[in-house]
Amino acid sequence: MTDTPFQYSADTLTQWDHHYLWHPFTPMRLWLEEKPLIIQRGEGVYLYDTEGRRYIDGISSLWCNIHGHNHPRINKAICTQVEKIAHSTLLGLSSQPSVELAKKLVDIAPAGLTRVFYSDAGATAVEIALKMAFQYWRNIGQSQRQQFIALRQSYHGDTIGSVSVGGIDIFHRIFGPLTFAAHFCDLPHPYRFEGSAQECRDHSLEQMRSLLQTYHKSIAAIIVEPLVQGAAGIIVHPQGFLDGVRKLADEFGVLLIIDEVATGFGRTGKMFACEHEDVAPDLMCLAKGITGGYLPLAATLASEKVFDAFLREPSAETTFYHGHTYTGNALACAAALGSLAVFEEEKTPAGLDVKIKLLNKRLNRMKPLRIVGDVRQCGMMAGIELVDNKDQKTSFDYTARIGAHLCQAMRQRGLILRPLGDVIVIMPPLVISTETLTELLDVIEDTLNAFIRAGATPDAARQLRLC
Ligand SMILES: *Cc1c(COP(=O)(O)O)cnc(C)c1O
């Protein structure tokens, strides 16, 4: 033990967490009032804390783990690589794992995406796609095309560019003065729309059409999350929406950026969500699941048409001057290659059908509960929206933090979840067994029932977390 830096007791770590760490997306005042859960190791779909307790990782460590923790195949890929070299730059040099991975990504990507540009987070993958789209038009002599169309309640990451095309008020409003303006279309959200799913889809597409009619000469690209808007609360788009967006982009001659950061790598039941509607984008953003949830890596894939516009003489200022120090990091690329090998060996996502159906069946069983307004699912991504008044679809007061309290209550029963407001998010590693998935869903259903029995009030939620 003494040759590792990790020799401190759980109590010391708790103190130091409270003294030295600033956690992402976390109201720190509340954080400091509670004992942090400190993870020490993982195995398959389980996380273990410093006190040896075991939890199901119900959110894939923030939506990125695919094949489980401590997977021998991916471990080996990283160990083999680290014995050779951990990192060398892609600025002016190339590297073995980054080349091999680029080839593999192009092989599995939707047709027409032929070039891979690496970075290290979903936000940077989006940032790069936006800058590429912007410069693409400049390079081909249409520099008036500088604007973007995005969807309301979209989430594309937290850098300033990706916040500019983000539409979640509570995250993005504060930074408004720092962002560039974008055009926003109504969210295609059947639960909150008066009318059928098709009418909801057509309403959003009509809005997009009218924006394009007015502004198309100054639009560089449309950016969307395909099929499902994750951070918005697992909002599943009506069927045909993505296809409709692709057709509009073609009709008005603008680029389409698809942000597969959350949906990519099997999460929706196919390798990439856009395959469900047979749509191929001009630019595609990948991150979260790309390394199986092991190391930070992202990629922006571009079509040859986009890439071609950057091929002129250097003096023509068509070079893409963007890069990060760790772009194409060898360890991260090796992990990604290891993860893709596991996809082949374990036949993911082909084997997900049974689990997707099980999840669907259990969501439908919870749907009649009086606090469940809506259940939504896209493959192995699901959300349960809790409501105060089911008939009127009214939310709980958000300051009561019902979703957070109920997820804390589930933690006592060995399940780690992180809600989005009052939407309980279910996003386990794809490798989860049907037995463990059943166990996970039992904990959720039991907790919701206990909350109802206790009166379904904010007080009841607070009490439950203390049990
Ligand atoms: C998580 C997410 C991002 C941001 O990725 P980071 O790696 O956290 O920067 C971007 N887009 C979508 C759709 C996401 O879900």
Residue 193 contacts by C-beta under 8 Å, 6 or more apart in sequence?
Answer: 199, 200, 203
Q: Is 223 in the pocket of ligand 1 (CB under 6 A)?
A: no
Q: Is 127 in the pocket of ligand 1 (CB under 6 A)?
A: no
Q: What is the pLDDT of residue 312?
A: 82
Q: Is 122 in the pocket of ligand 1 (CB under 6 A)?
A: yes
Q: Is 225 in the pocket of ligand 1 (CB under 6 A)?
A: yes
Q: What number does the ligand 1 atom closest to the CA of 123 have?
A: 9
User: What single-letter DSSP state applies at residue 219?
Assistant: E
Q: What is the pLDDT of residue 73?
A: 98
Asked whether residue 211 carries a pLDDT value surpassing 60, the answer given is yes
43 φ, ψ to 5°? Answer: -155, 115
**Nearest Cα residue to 167 out of 155, 179, 158, 175:** 155
Beta carbons of 379 and 268 less than 8 angstroms apart: yes
User: 49 CA distance to ligand 1 centroid (A)?
Assistant: 26
Bridge partner list, 44: 69
User: 262 CA distance to ligand 1 centroid (A)?
Assistant: 6
pLDDT tens, position by position, 390-408: 999 999 999 999 999 999 9
Q: What is the pLDDT of residue 3?
A: 55
**Nearest Cα residue to 386 out of 422, 427, 426:** 422
pLDDT tens, position by position, 103-150: 999 999 999 999 999 999 999 999 999 999 999 999 999 999 999 999
Which whole number is the average pLDDT over 207-235? 98
Q: pLDDT over 70 for what percent of the chain? A: 99
Ligand 1, atom 15, residue with closest C-alpha: 262
Q: Is 155 in the pocket of ligand 1 (CB under 6 A)?
A: yes
Taking all residues of the chain, what is their mean pLDDT, rounded to a whole number? 96
Q: Structure pTM?
A: 0.97
pLDDT tens, position by position, 48-83: 999 999 999 999 999 999 999 999 999 999 999 999
Which whole number is the average pLDDT over 328-356? 97
Alpha-carbon span 177 to 54, nearest angstrom: 44
Q: What is the pLDDT of residue 1?
A: 46
Asked whether residue 246 carries a pLDDT value surpassing 90, the answer given is yes
Most ligand 1 atoms within 8 A of CB, residue of 261, 290, 418 to mutate = 261
Q: What is the pLDDT of residue 394?
A: 96
Asked whether residue 467 carries a pLDDT value surpassing 80, the answer given is no
pLDDT tens, position by position, 11-40: 999 999 999 999 999 999 999 999 999 999
Q: Is 232 in the pocket of ligand 1 (CB under 6 A)?
A: no
Q: Is 120 in the pocket of ligand 1 (CB under 6 A)?
A: no
All domains in the chain, ordered by first residue: 37-66+349-466 (3.90.1150.10), 74-346 (3.40.640.10)
Pairing verdict, β 219-224 and 415-416: unpaired
User: 389 CA distance to ligand 1 centroid (A)?
Assistant: 32
Q: What is the pLDDT of residue 105?
A: 98
Q: What number does the ligand 1 atom closest to the CA of 158 have?
A: 9
Asked whether residue 261 carries a pLDDT value surpassing 50, the answer given is yes
Asked whether residue 4 carries a pLDDT value surpassing 80, the answer given is no
List Cα–Cα distances, 360 to 113, 366, 420, in angstroms: 32, 10, 20
Q: What is the pLDDT of residue 172?
A: 81
Q: Is 259 in the pocket of ligand 1 (CB under 6 A)?
A: yes
